[in-house]
Chain A
Amino acid sequence: MDASVPRDDSLVTMTDLTREFSSGGSLMKPRRTMRAVNNVSLDVPRGNVTGVVGESGCGKSTLARLVLRLLEATEGTVFFDGKNLATQSQAEMRKLRRQMQMVFQDPYSAIDPRYTIRRALLEPFQVQGEAKTAAEAKTTVEELISMVGLSTRMMDSFPHQLSGGQKQRVGIARALALRPSFLVLDEPTASLDVSIQAQIIDLLEALKEELGLTYLFISHDLSLVRYFCDRVVVMYLGRVVEILSGAETQPRHHYAHALLESNFEPDPTRRKIVTMLGGEIPSPFAKIPGCAFAARCPAASDMCKRERPPLSNLGDGQMVACHNPMD
Chain B
Amino acid sequence: MTAFAPIKTAIRSPRGGVSAAVLLLVVVCALFAPLIAPYAYDIQNLPGANTEPGAAHWMGTDEFGRDLMSRIIYGARTSLSVAVTAISISVAAGLTLGAMAGYFGGWFDRAVTAVVDLTWSFPEILIALILIAIIGPGLESTMVAISIAYLAQFTRLTRAQIMALKNETYVEATTNLGAGHFHIIFRHLLPNALTPVIVAGMLATGDAIILEATLGFFGLGAQPPTPSWGAMMSSGTAQIFIAPWIIIFPGLAIAITVISINLFGDALIEALDIRNRLRSV
Q: Which residues of A contact B (CB under 8 A)?
A: 65, 68, 70, 90, 93-95, 97-98, 100-102, 104-106, 109-114, 123-124, 127-128, 158, 171, 174, 178
Contact = CB atoms under 8 A, between A and B. Distances in A.
Interface stretch (B104-112, B168-176, B217-225): B168-176
16 contacts: A65-B172, A93-B178, A100-B176, A101-B177, A104-B169, A105-B169, A106-B169, A109-B168, A109-B169, A110-B170, A111-B170, A112-B174, A123-B177, A123-B179, A127-B179, A174-B177
A127 B188 CA distance: 12
Contacts of B173: 102, 104, 110-111, 171, 174
Nearest to B184: A127
A158 B2 CA distance: 12
A128 B178 contact: yes
Contacts of B175: 70
Majority secondary structure, A binding face: loop
Interface residues of B, number: 18
B contact patch SS: helix
Contacts of B47: none
Contacts of A98: 178
A114 B183 contact: no
B192 interface: yes
Interface of B: 1, 168-170, 172-180, 183, 187-188, 191-192
Contacts of B179: 123, 127
A70 B177 contact: no
A127 B191 contact: no
B169 A127 contact: no
A167 to B, nearest CB: 11
Given A70-B172, A127-B183, A112 B177 contact: no
Contacts, number: 57
B18 to A, nearest CB: 31
Closest 9 CB pairs of A and B: A94-B178, A97-B178, A109-B169, A127-B179, A110-B169, A112-B170, A124-B177, A127-B177, A104-B169
B192 A127 contact: no
Contacts of B177: 97, 101, 123-124, 127-128, 174, 178
Given A109-B169, A109-B170, A101 B176 contact: yes
B26 to A, nearest CB: 32
Contacts of A109: 168-170
Given A102-B173, A104-B172, A174-B173, A112 B192 contact: yes
Nearest to B191: A114
Given A97-B177, A111-B170, 8 more contacts: A93-B178, A109-B170, A112-B192, A114-B192, A123-B174, A123-B187, A127-B177, A171-B173
Contacts of A95: 178
B178 to A, nearest CB: 4
Contacts of A114: 191-192
A119 to B, nearest CB: 10
A102 B169 CA distance: 11
Contacts of A100: 176
A112 B188 contact: yes
